Amino acid sequence: MFEAQAAYYLNKYLGQYVDGVDPKSLRISVWQGNVVLRDLRVRPEALQDLKLPVTVKAGMLGTLTLKVPWANLGKEPVVVEVDNLYILAAPFKEERNFESEEEVQQFAEEMERMERAAKRRRVESAELDFMEKLNTKAQKKVAATPADEDKGGFLQSYIETIIGNLELRITNVHIRYEDDQTSPGQSFAFGFTLEELSAHTIDDQGNKTFVTAKNMMQVRKAASLKRLAVYFDVSNKLWQEQSDWLQLPSMSWDSVFLPLIHSEIEPGATQSFLLRPVDGSLNYRRRMKGKGQEDEPKQEIGLRLVEIAIHLSRGQYEHVQNLLSVFNLYELSTPHRHLRPPCRPRNAAGARLWWSYAYKALMHRSLGNKMSLHKLKQISETRRMYVKRYVKCLMDGSVGVGGDDAISAMDAELPEWTILVFRQMAHVQVDNAKRKALAEEASRKAARAKTTRWWGWGPTKVDEQLQEQGNGPAEIELSVAPEEWKKLHDLMAVEVEEESGGSANALETLLTVCVNSSAMCLTDEKGQMILEGVLKGTTVVSKTYGQKSSLELAVMSTALLCGEGALLSSGTNQTISTGHDGGNVESLEQAVKLCYTSTPQDRGTNASLMIQLSSGYVTYHDAAIKEVLKFF
């Protein structure tokens, strides 16, 4: 039923990041409900969404598995598995030399085309965001329909059942960035590794289960994290350049990327962990609101991490600072990045390009939001013709978003914000026209039903509900036949219940984070400790209500250590015997307790803050303070 849509979107979004996807084979696999893609090559522009000057030198997705039980979507979960994702990234560098006037002229024309293309991408991105908001607004109207009419909750409940039972498993991820340009004469590399991340639905006993639409009053999810780590190698040799990464077999990729994922805590001289491997678990619980349950949160999230250990050396700190400076400069030049010449001003031709770039960037910044009276009059005259033409393009399935050549010609003379406003007006007109057509069609069907119902073969209640659901955009996008809707309706056995709005004092979200141990250590070039901060038994509890929120932080013990000894220690730890069974328990006095509440009840303040500190011990070491200042 949704097979065509699933194949379309899977191919669309996968194609942005990987190569090697056969659309025909993918469509067949989706219809069979078992998609297994192997050895997909990651595209060089796969990381461009980060908006950073990095590119993918080589990358491979070992296995992508998608299991969709189309015949039992209401009874079996959708399973997504990703295994062996390897990416080797490097600084993005594009430098060319221009020696002749002809080359300069060609680049100037190319730059004009790039500027128009960048303008078009920005407009289309904003337009798609507007369309998504329009679609979301329409879906909310459908979902807000009274429950006794059962008019729009079916599709939403169906999707919630699929997402609520989605099983995810990601294993063996290694993303490595190598750089020999940021710090002249030195090279460094840092990487992100993950052994496993999995999530599934559980019952109240913590066992794996499947939740149907009837039991959506409570949904529980469990996720586990294994060996999430970040390493940072300084002054280390970069990986040897492969002659052709595309020709490497999967076993060769594993031999290069896999060992660092499973390396031990002490990796040796060739690798330094910035973030030591972290293990943890997360439990999520969602409740539907009911009367007399204001003290129970609608959403409850519990995150527990075993240990967080960050180690930073002097060399790592310097390289991180240099890299952040490069990223910051890149971000500042982003608005005019498409105008920037890909060469250095080494000769007269290159110098002219850079002066032209500086002039255009300055004019773009200073005159971008200004408009003359003549230009305003011209835009007003263009509006009616533009909107009418764009409505025609949207209604014509072969053209769609972006328009035709006539629209492109008008776009060249209009500012970006004006184009976006005109297109929004066109989308609203198209949306109203479609709704009107659907309403007229439903009215005609209802009229025919009245004349034929007394013969005994009029439309059923399900058919009438399907007509009502035509008011939303979901029908236009999914194109589901009425008999398929009926089959799904019977399969899911949806019982739509109206959710109570709750009061201002109702607890909406409860977030609890527990970390057994967390530490940050600064070391010198020889690996000797300069300063280490340690927190034991950290607990964070965040509560969100209708009109207020609160945050509680508790730390059982704290310590600040240096090579000469302890600079600061707080909190006590005593072992007490229980007496009867001979067991022991630990009695801890909290070192730090912080409570923050916004808009507290029965008080004339906007917020309240309470900090409680236990007794502590402070020791001053002059040499340790000097070492810390020298580090930074």
Which residue reads 């002066």 in tokens?
A: 355
Which residue reads 């805590």 in tokens?
A: 265
Q: Which two tokens stand for residue 281?
A: 């678990």
Q: Which two tokens stand for residue 93?
A: 């560098």
Same domain (yes/no): 534, 605:
yes
Q: Give, in order, the Cα–Cα distances in Å from 486 to each of 448, 463, 490.
A: 21, 8, 6
3-14 vs 23-32: helix crossing angle, rounded to 10? 140
Same domain (yes/no): 532, 615:
yes
> CB neighbours of 586 closer than 8 A, spacing ≥ 6?
573, 574, 575, 576
Q: Which two tokens stand for residue 287?
A: 């409740």
In the prediction, which pLDDT does 300 show? 92
- Given a contact cutoff of 8 angstroms between Cβ atoms, the answer to whether 529 and 523 are in contact is yes
User: From the DSSP assignment, how many helices (H) and strands (E) are in the chain?
Assistant: 14, 18
Query: Higher pLDDT residue, 621 or 541?
Result: 541
Count of domains for the chain: 2
Average pLDDT of 512-537? 91
pLDDT band at 366 (very low <50, low <70, confident <90, very high): low
Same domain (yes/no): 451, 526:
no
Question: How many other C-beta atoms lie within 10 A of the C-beta of residue 182?
Answer: 17
| Residue 176 placed within a domain | no
Q: Give, in order, the Cα–Cα distances in Å from 572 to each of 476, 536, 541.
A: 65, 11, 22
Q: What is the pLDDT of residues 180-221, one digit of tens each?
A: 888 877 888 989 999 999 999 998 888 888 887 666 677 889
* pLDDT over threshold 50, residue 473: no
Exposed, middle or buried: residue 515 (CB in 10 Å: 0-12, 13-18, 19+)? Answer: buried
In the prediction, which pLDDT does 388 show? 87
Same domain (yes/no): 614, 515:
yes
| Residue 332 placed within a domain | no
Query: Higher pLDDT residue, 378 or 549?
Result: 549
* DSSP per position, 525-545: TTS-EEEEEEEEEEEEEEEEE
Rounded-to-integer distance, Cα 443 and Cα 435, Å = 12
In the prediction, which pLDDT does 187 show? 87
Q: Express as a percent the part of the chain with pLDDT over 90.
A: 19
Rounded-to-integer distance, Cα 592 and Cα 553, Å = 8
- Given a contact cutoff of 8 angstroms between Cβ atoms, the answer to whether 36 and 123 are in contact is no
Domain holding 552, by residue range, is 507-631
pLDDT band at 84 (very low <50, low <70, confident <90, very high): very high
Same domain (yes/no): 441, 518:
no
Domain boundary among 459, 493, 523: 459
Query: Higher pLDDT residue, 157 or 576?
Result: 157
In the prediction, which pLDDT does 143 show? 55
Q: Give, in order, the Cα–Cα distances in Å from 256 to each of 87, 172, 249, 416.
A: 11, 12, 11, 47
CA neighbours closer than 13 Å in the CB half-sphere of residue 148: 0
Strands 572-577 and 584-589: antiparallel
Nearest to 410 by CA among 426, 425, 390: 390
Q: Which two tokens stand for residue 365?
A: 């910044």
Query: Higher pLDDT residue, 511 or 156?
Result: 511
How many degrees, rounded to 5, is the angle at CA 120 between CA 118 and CA 124?
Answer: 120
Nearest to 494 by CA among 287, 214, 210: 214
In the prediction, which pLDDT does 32 show? 78
Rounded-to-integer distance, Cα 106 and Cα 117, Å = 17
Same domain (yes/no): 453, 541:
no
Same domain (yes/no): 514, 425:
no
Average model confidence (pLDDT) for the chain? 77
Q: What is the pLDDT of residues 487-511, one digit of tens each?
A: 555 544 444 444 445 566 788 899 9
How many degrees, rounded to 5, is the angle at CA 392 between CA 387 and CA 395?
Answer: 125
Rounded-to-integer distance, Cα 153 and Cα 334, Å = 43
Nearest to 117 by CA among 378, 416, 458, 478: 416
Query: Higher pLDDT residue, 415 or 86?
Result: 86
Same domain (yes/no): 536, 608:
yes
- Given a contact cutoff of 8 angstroms between Cβ atoms, the answer to whether 20 and 250 are in contact is no
| Residue 396 placed within a domain | yes
| Residue 555 placed within a domain | yes
Rounded-to-integer distance, Cα 500 and Cα 294, Å = 11
Nearest to 620 by CA among 558, 556, 581, 565: 565
Same domain (yes/no): 443, 530:
no
373-395 vs 416-452: helix crossing angle, rounded to 10? 40
How many degrees, rounded to 5, is the angle at CA 122 between CA 116 and CA 128?
Answer: 130
Q: State pTM to two decimals.
A: 0.71
| Residue 24 placed within a domain | no
Which residue reads 């296995």 in tokens?
A: 63
| Residue 65 placed within a domain | no
Show the DSSP H helices in 175-300 as ranges.
Answer: 250-261
How many degrees, rounded to 5, is the angle at CA 414 between CA 340 and CA 51?
Answer: 35
In the prediction, which pLDDT does 305 show? 95
Q: What is the DSSP letter of 466?
A: H
| Residue 233 placed within a domain | no
Same domain (yes/no): 424, 524:
no
- Given a contact cutoff of 8 angstroms between Cβ atoms, the answer to whether 480 and 486 are in contact is no
Nearest to 69 by CA among 157, 14, 22, 6: 6
3-state SS class at 484: helix
In one-letter notation, the amino acid at residue 26 is: L
Same domain (yes/no): 443, 531:
no
Query: Higher pLDDT residue, 548 or 375?
Result: 548
In one-letter notation, the amino acid at residue 494 is: V
Nearest to 126 by CA among 409, 429, 423, 399: 423
- Given a contact cutoff of 8 angstroms between Cβ atoms, the answer to whether 571 and 590 are in contact is yes
| Residue 511 placed within a domain | yes
Same domain (yes/no): 525, 620:
yes
**Structural element, H or E, at residue 133:** helix 101-143
